[in-house]
Each structure stands twice: as C-alpha cells, then as structure tokens.
A and B are shown apart, each in its own frame.
Chain A
Amino acid sequence: MDPVFILMVALFVFMIIGSLIAVETRDLLSSVICLGAVGFGTSVAFLLLGAPDLAITQVVVEILVLVVLVRVVITRRDETAATGRGTLATGSVLLVMGVLVAVVFWMLASSGAGGLQVRPFGDPLMNHEGPASAMAPADQPQLAAGQAAEPQSIGGAYLKHGLLGTAVSHGTGAANYVMGIVLDSRGYDTLGEATVIFTAIIGTYAVLRRIGRQSHAGHVADR
C-alpha cells in the first residue's frame, strides 16, 4: 500500500481530534492553539501530497492567523461564554450532520457501480487517456485529428502541454506549472482573487474605523 495513504489517514485522524478539541474546549486560548495544530497538520498534508507551494503558503498564513487570533483572545477575557446552545438545538444539529455524513458515505461507497463517478484516491482522471477529439474545441475537429491520445482531464492537459505548448497553442514557459496556471493560463481567476482580497481589506478598514465607534454612542453622530 502507498505509504502516503497511511500517512494521510494518520494526519487526518490527528487533525480531526485537534479540531474536535478546538471546538469543544472551554478555554478560548487553547481552542486557538488547537486550530494552529490543525493548520500545521494541513501544511504537512500538502507537502505529502506533492504541493510544496501550498505547504509554504499554508505555514505562513497559519502563523499570521494565530498571531491575530491570539492577540484577540489574550487581551479579552470572557469567562461566561463557554457553554453551547441548548440540548435540543445541539441534538438536532448533530442529527443533520449525521445524515450529511451518511449520505456522503453512501455516495463514496457506491461510486463506480452506477453511483456518482468519484475517482479513488491516488487514481485521478488524468491517469487515463482518451482520443484527442474529446478534448478539442467542438468547431475544430481537424486540429485534433492528427494528434495522439490526450489525458481526459484539464489538469492532465495542462501538465502535458503547459510548459512547451502544442502546435496550436503557446506554453507558459514557467518551470513551476502551478505558477504558470495561476498567472498565465488562468489569470482571470487571480484577478478575481486580488479583488476579493482588496474587498476584504477595505471591509476590515470600514468595520474598524474610528468614527463608526463614536457615532453609535449618540454624541458625535452628526459630526
């Protein structure tokens, strides 16, 4: 069996235990620290799955999240807010979650045998090649006619032609395929992402600006 599979299962068990402690503990500081454990577990999982870019980003992002959250928690003591909602509410929420997990379990278990087509772990669609005409644009069948078999997924096509290109398209020329996709092939996605970050920053400034804090007190609302 693939050692990555065993390591991934072990990491997932660690992360689920860590997240349960983070959700259920009464101390907010240890909750935040357990969130940090889950985040660093995610980073190690990215590294095991062959994604060093994501591992680097996840480590640094996790540190920043921890700094922000610990600074919030450590100066604001709130002893009273340790309890959850009532028994009935929590019970119904848990029931819905259990139904959700059961549905997903059934979906994964029946995949391949007439159910939803989910590929098993470690065997993505890009492992399988089909006729090139399946991946070609519908109005240009003659372009695909002369080529050999192509991978059946878009990721496989990026991997096969992303660097050097084909007869009809240019490659990105970036040795890091991920950066080639992010900044060249799918530049629109990155532009939208930059917009989202910009909006979140503006939103943070708007939420935290000082005039709003004074105006709700009533004295300086008309200023």
Chain B
Amino acid sequence: MTLAMLPYLLAFLLLVVGLYAVVAKRNVIKIIVGLAILDYAVNLLLVLVGYRPSPSGSPMAPILTGGVAHEPALVAGAVDPLPQALVLTSIVIGLSVTALVVGLAIRLYEKYGTFDTERMRNLRG
C-alpha cells in the first residue's frame, strides 16, 4: 500500500465511526450525531478524489480570476470541479435531513419523555 492512499483510508475510518454511532448507540441524539459524521466523511472522500497539486505547489481552486488569458494555467493546475459540484448540493441536503431527524427526535421526546430508544420500546410494548 502506497502512502498516497492514506487519506482515503482515514476518511473511511471517519465514516466507520459515524456508522458505529448509528448502529450501536441507544440515544437518538447520538444517532443524529453519527448521521452527521457519516455525511461529512462521504463529502470529504468525494472531494479527496478530485485533488491534485498545481504546478506552483498550492492547490488551485477551479475559479478563473483575472480574465480569460489565465485560462490555460487554470486548466493545467486546478482541482477537479465535478466532485465539488456534487458535494455542494449534498451539504445542503445533509442540513435539511438533519433538521428532519431533529424534528422526529423532538416528537419522540414529547411523547415518551426520553431520548433512549430502548426505554421507548419498553414504554409502549
């Protein structure tokens, strides 16, 4: 395994931590936290795939500044814009999904008086 694969593996470890929280935790808030961590890990993995260093060393965002004359330098050195475009929508979707799950958690708390899924099951058969 070359060292260059290390960021992918670390992003996957972050994803696994989120997955563990979703599967193994009893508290609804912990499950929401795990969902958010899953979201961040997947977004990061997608953006990592498109990275490349520019000839000048620092990463170059795919945004043209200073007129069309600079376009060949941008094409030669900028990072991949396609994963960024996909992840941009995914971030906002993650926020609205989090809001939906928080709404569900508030309703559950209102009904059962607890965030614990096991106790909810015991309260109502």
Contacts and interface: CB of A to CB of B under 8 A. Distances in A.
Asked whether the complex places CB atoms of A and B closer than 8 A, the reply is: yes
Interface size class of B (residues with CB under 8 A): 35 or more
Q: How large is the interface on A (under 10, 10 to 19, 20 to 34, 35 or more residues)?
A: 35 or more
Contacts of A80: 114, 116, 119
B14 A189 contact: no
Nearest to B32: A69
Contacts, number: 284
Contacts of A143: none
A108 B1 contact: yes
A46 B47 contact: yes
Contacts of A53: 61, 84, 88
Contacts of A111: 5
B14 A15 contact: yes
Contacts of A38: 14, 36-37, 40
Given A35-B33, A68-B98, A54 B87 contact: yes
Contacts of B123: none
B14 A51 contact: no
Given A32-B33, A49-B51, A61-B91, A216 B111 contact: yes
A8 B26 CA distance: 32
Contacts of B58: 4
A118 B8 contact: yes
B84 A108 contact: no
User: Mostly helix, strand, loop or mixed at chain A's interface?
Assistant: helix
B108 to A, nearest CB: 10
B99 A200 contact: yes
Interface string B39-76: 01001100111111100011111111100100100110
Interface of A: 2-5, 8-9, 12-13, 15-16, 19-20, 22-23, 28, 31-32, 35, 38-39, 42, 45-46, 48-54, 57-58, 61, 64-65, 68-69, 72-73, 76, 78, 80-85, 89-90, 93-94, 97, 100-101, 104-105, 108-109, 111, 118-124, 126-127, 153-156, 158-160, 162-164, 175-178, 181-182, 186, 189-190, 193, 196-197, 200-201, 203-204, 207-208, 213, 216
Give the 10 A-B residue pairs with the shortest CB-CB distance, closest first. Answer: A50-B59, A109-B1, A120-B4, A81-B116, A155-B82, A155-B80, A200-B96, A12-B10, A181-B85, A193-B89
